[in-house]
Amino acid sequence: MSTATQIRTRPLKPGFGVEILGVDLRRADRETMAGVVDAFHRSGVILLRDQVMTPGELTGFVAEFGEPEDHTLKEFTVEGHPKVYRLSNRVVDGRPIGAHNDGVGWHTDYSYKQEPVMATMLYAVEVPPEGADTIIADCVAAWDALPPERQGELQGKVLHHSYQHFMSTREYGARELSEELKRENPDVYHPLVRTHPADGRKALWPSTGTVIEVMGVPNPEGLDLVQELVDYATQDRFTYRHKWRVGDILMWDNRCTLHTGTLFDDTRYIREMHRLWVRGDRPY
Ligand code: SIN
């Protein structure tokens, strides 16, 4: 156990992520909140358990980290709280109230934007007793574990990301985009190896779903390389698997991680999560 600006923490996995202990976010003073933000930037993932938060309070909490980001699709935002997006399989009066299985498949959020989101926060409102874990990969550890020759081969490679491709091919919730969404989400190009602006640490930063090519490497070789790197970075030795409890807040740094949701028996159980994003900057 360690202290960081007055807060107590314990690692989620040695060297990756921390659980913050003894903090009720609704009552946290400025110093405690600064410690929480600091823990996030240093460790890549933070967990706070047993929180009771309204959508307004969640929005206020993520604003401690930066500007809350809008969601690409608006249909499942919480009424009156445009920054809070519902993930759920609940259906009310014949209509789904949230996106179901939205984050299944290894990815980093908003990678199809010029400025992908810095952080993703999930708040557990209702969770199934089994399944629906969220797994987060430490892409700094994955990068650091590569031999220098391999790092040299990968450094400088650029990935072409396409939202249109992602949305038309994804396993859950595939759809053709409206002209407006196409206009708002043109293709973008990001480095395969990303530098963390806080301290310069490097992260292997591939992603499945949105990447359609590695610049200068013809397909299928290019996409095989991306898949190989995602498989490599998401091995158990680099990942933390979160088993949800109601009231959990899990927040991760998209600049140095990949994550995936996992399936659950949606014929028996309901899952409802609130997701918020924090605005990011251009990867380099
Ligand atoms: C996400 O990828 O944003 C959600 C992951 C999850 O639902 O566990």
Q: Is the pTM of this model over 0.75?
A: yes
* DSSP string over the chain: -EEETTEEEEEEETTEEEEEES--TTT--HHHHHHHHHHHHHHSEEEE-S----HHHHHHHHTTTSPBPPPS--TTEETTEEEEEEEE--EETTEESSBSSTTBSSB-TTTTSSS--SEEEEEEEE--SSS--EEEEEHHHHHHTS-HHHHHHHTT-EEEE-HHHHHHH-SSS--PPPHHHHHHS--EEEESEEE-TTT--EEE---SSSEEEETTB-TTHHHHHHHHHHHHHTSGGGEEEEPP-TT-EEEEETTSEEEEE----TTT---EEEEEEE------
The total number of structural domains that make up the chain: 1
pLDDT of residue 173: 77
pLDDT of residue 2: 46
pLDDT of residue 3: 45
- Choose which residue among 90, 104, 253 to substitute to test ligand 1 binding: the one with the highest number of ligand atoms within 8 A of its C-beta: 104
- Choose which residue among 110, 111, 120 to substitute to test ligand 1 binding: the one with the highest number of ligand atoms within 8 A of its C-beta: 120
User: What distance in Å separates the CA atoms of residue 229 and residue 227, rounded to the nearest whole number?
Assistant: 5
133 CA closest ligand 1 atom index: 8
pLDDT of residue 73: 85
Nearest alpha carbon, ligand 1 atom 3? 103
pLDDT of residue 261: 97
Query: What separation in Å is there between the alpha carbon of 250 and the centre of ligand 1?
Result: 10
Q: Is residue 235 part of a domain?
A: yes
Q: Is residue 240 part of a domain?
A: yes
pLDDT of residue 5: 54
User: What distance in Å separates the CA atoms of residue 146 and residue 164, rounded to the nearest whole number?
Assistant: 32
Find the length of the chain.
Answer: 284
| Phi then psi dihedrals of residue 179, to 5 deg | -60, -35
Residues with CB under 6 A from ligand 1: 87, 102-103, 109, 120, 134, 259, 261, 273, 275
pLDDT of residue 4: 46
Q: Is residue 132 part of a domain?
A: yes
- CATH code, 258: 3.60.130.10
Nearest alpha carbon, ligand 1 atom 8? 261
Query: What separation in Å is there between the alpha carbon of 119 and the centre of ligand 1?
Result: 12
pLDDT of residue 171: 81
Q: Which positions of the chain have pLDDT values less than 70?
A: 1-5
pLDDT of residue 9: 97
State which residues form the domain around 176. Answer: 3-278
pLDDT in tens, 172-226: 878 888 999 999 999 999 999 999 998 999 999 998 889 999 999 999 999 999 9
pLDDT of residue 6: 75
Q: Is residue 283 part of a domain?
A: no
pLDDT of residue 170: 84
Query: What separation in Å is there between the alpha carbon of 101 and the centre of ligand 1?
Result: 8
pLDDT of residue 41: 92
Q: Is residue 28 part of a domain?
A: yes
Beta bridge partners, 104, equal 261
